[in-house]
Amino acid sequence: MDHLPPCIDSSSTQNSKVRSDIWGHFTKQEPYSEKKAKCNYCGDLIKYLIGTSGMRNHLARCKENPNREAFKRQKVLSSSIEVSVSYSPTISKFDQNASRMKLVKMFVNTLRREIWKLYEEEKAKLKMFLSKHCERVCLTTDTWTSIQNLNYMSLTAHFIDNDWKLQKKILNFSQTTGHSGELIAKHVEVCLNNWELKRVLSMTVDNATANDVGVQYLKRRMLSWNCLVLKGEYVHMRCCAHILSLILKDGLKEIKDSISKIRSEVKYVKSSPARFARFKACVEQEGISYKGIFCLDVETRSILPFLKLFYDSTLRISGSSYVTSHMYMKEVFAIGKRIRQYSESNDVSIKLMAMRMKGKYEKYWGNPNGINILLLIAVVLDPRSKLDFVNYFIEYLFESSMATELKSKLLSSLKTLYEQYQGIEEGSQSSQQESQLDDDDDDPHYMRFFLRVTGRRFDYISKLDKYLREDHEPYMSVDFDILHWWKVNSTRFPILANMAREVLAIPISTVASECAFSTGGRVISPYRSCLTPKIVEVLVCTQDWLKGTPFSILFDEDPKELDKFEQVPNSGRTDQLRENPSNLGKLGIRNDLLMFLETLIELSRIGRTVI
């Protein structure tokens, strides 16, 4: 560490002890009340009203000072060295990098403590809310891998809050030791026990054998907890977006070569202005009238509406900030109807593609026994549809015997579920009613006492019949908000409203879990993979609980674009994504389906240029 250069002897006599070495280069001047000092080199008078910084600056620019350059490098008065017993103030050179590292260490330790504290506080708040205000939750889960080959599992709870707003909160984002079904299920069980969540309505997972095994394990455990509705027969929800991806993958094998050639042609022509100019010259030479790069043939034009149906459907069912369970029948059955139509097409290529898709569709959605009844009940709870609308679609899509069986199962499950929720409602009110029976002077005929002793109850079941018999809400209403409708009518149909509050929260896609990860390759960003698994969980969960937004702390995405997608459940959202296909990667859609959708967008743009 550099010290001040040697000083020049001063003949001045000082009345008090001088603490700074700077006085070896200055002489105090009388009267001392004016606080002036004379430079021993050039004789200039310098004031020292507050401190000695003015004199130090003068030495750095004094031309007569033989050590002027040394003073220029000495900016501040400080010392970070270990001092001896006899302390001697010194001046050290400022080191920006060293100072930064000291600040970082100080902030890291403080932030680590505060983040942990905030995580525990927010977890306690959410845990209390779920225990007091949520009878049941719906779950989505998925597993991923970091660049360090660490397996992570995300578990997300979906529920509708007291204000009838759909919420999704990440409960768990932790490391697992593998992707096997039973291992994942045990991990979920530990998480549910940690959160003291026993009542689960559904679990939405990808279509995979491991997930089938895991859900069956959890179903057995939850049955022992006596907390499942309809005996747990419909707790397993398959991701609709994943099934759509499988159907498309099979169908596109028939036109894979054509799509590859079109993509290669577009890429080649657009790769440079010279190639595009040569292409235009060839078109003009052949006398072809055109407005775009090339004209689509009849086969390609006829297939676009069919493929666009899958594209739009995928966008609609992949939202997580609005309810989607009541969309299931409309989306799935509409696709099945269109597949059947195209399987009878006169165009051989389209017919073969549709036949491939039909086989995969029948495997997952063509068998009435494979349809999740809770999703049909969600459609019944849509006041624009109700039971007669669902029955009409069932009769249209299935053979008579299968349709009759499915309608009977739906009605029976609807009544059973209603009675189960009715029992919950009565149980929650029993203690309050009993406390009022003894002191209620407004019941001179002891009607409440009679109902309690005889075991009879008010005719709640008529509320279900009343709801089903009432007129439908206008189906074409663009601004219809199903959650708002149930909020307004919850006093008229209290038990049905409790059913709707939980059934409508069922997600039919696992996109909410997947947006916790980088969607490019199911791999956590390398910028955050260096963190410990527990710190990753703390950061992800805390950010989700505080903001409820996608997790930019793990990967680089534009929150504004994600918010646009999440908040627009109508056709406007489809238009935004169609114009910007890169946003599709933020939906958690599989890469093979994403590649197809981008191809379809390119074909659609080309199609709009056809004469």
**Percent of the chain scoring above 90 in pLDDT:** 25
Residue whose pair of structure tokens reads 């657009």 in the numeric block: 270
CB 190 within 8 A of CB 184: no
Q: What is the pLDDT of residue 585?
A: 39
The DSSP code sequence of 184-245 is HHHHHHHHHHHHT---EEEEEE-S-HHHHHHHHHHHHHHHHHT--GGGGTT-EEE-HHHHHH
Q: What is the pLDDT of residue 67?
A: 78
Beta bridge pairs of residue 46? 37
pTM: 0.68
Phi, psi for 85 (deg, rounded to 5): -65, -40
Q: What is the pLDDT of residue 528?
A: 57
Of 55, 30, 52, residue with least CA distance to 41: 55
Compute the distance between CA of residue 415 and CA of residue 467 in angstroms, rounded to an integer: 13
pLDDT tens column, 273-314:
888 888 888 878 877 666 555 544 445 556 777 778 888 888
Mean pLDDT value across residues 542-561: 55
Pairing, β 200-205 against β 236-238 = parallel
Q: What is the pLDDT of residue 580?
A: 41
Cis peptide before 31 (omega within 30 of 0): yes
Q: What is the pLDDT of residue 516?
A: 52
Of 451, 240, 203, residue with least CA distance to 328: 240
Q: What is the pLDDT of residue 526?
A: 58
> Would you say residue 506 has pLDDT above 80?
yes
Pairing, β 45-47 against β 137-145 = unpaired
Helix (H, G, I), strand (E, B) or coil at 346: coil
DSSP label at residue 364: I
Beta bridge pairs of residue 166? 160
Q: Is 34 exposed, middle or buried (0-12, 13-18, 19+ CB in 10 A)?
A: exposed
pLDDT tens column, 21-78:
788 888 888 887 788 888 888 888 888 877 788 888 888 888 888 877 766 655 544 4
> Domain coordinates of the chain in residue numbers?
21-94, 134-323+335-356+504-611, 382-496
Is the pLDDT higher at 428 or at 212? 212
pLDDT tens column, 222-263:
998 888 999 999 999 998 888 888 888 888 887 777 777 777
Compute the distance between CA of residue 44 and CA of residue 553 in angstroms, rounded to an integer: 59
Q: Is 501 left (phi over 0), alpha (psi -120 to 50) or beta?
A: alpha
Compute the distance between CA of residue 223 and CA of residue 71 in angstroms, rounded to an integer: 81
Q: Dig out the tokens for 105 from the structure.
A: 């260490």
Residue 553 is which amino acid? Answer: I
> Would you say residue 80 has pLDDT above 50?
no
Beta bridge pairs of residue 45? 38
Residues 6+ apart with CB under 8 A from 500: 381, 486
The DSSP code sequence of 99-124 is HHHHHHHHHHHHHHHHHHHHHHHHHH
CB 189 within 8 A of CB 221: yes
Residue 3's pLDDT band (cuts 50, 70, 90): very low
**Percent of the chain scoring above 70 in pLDDT:** 70
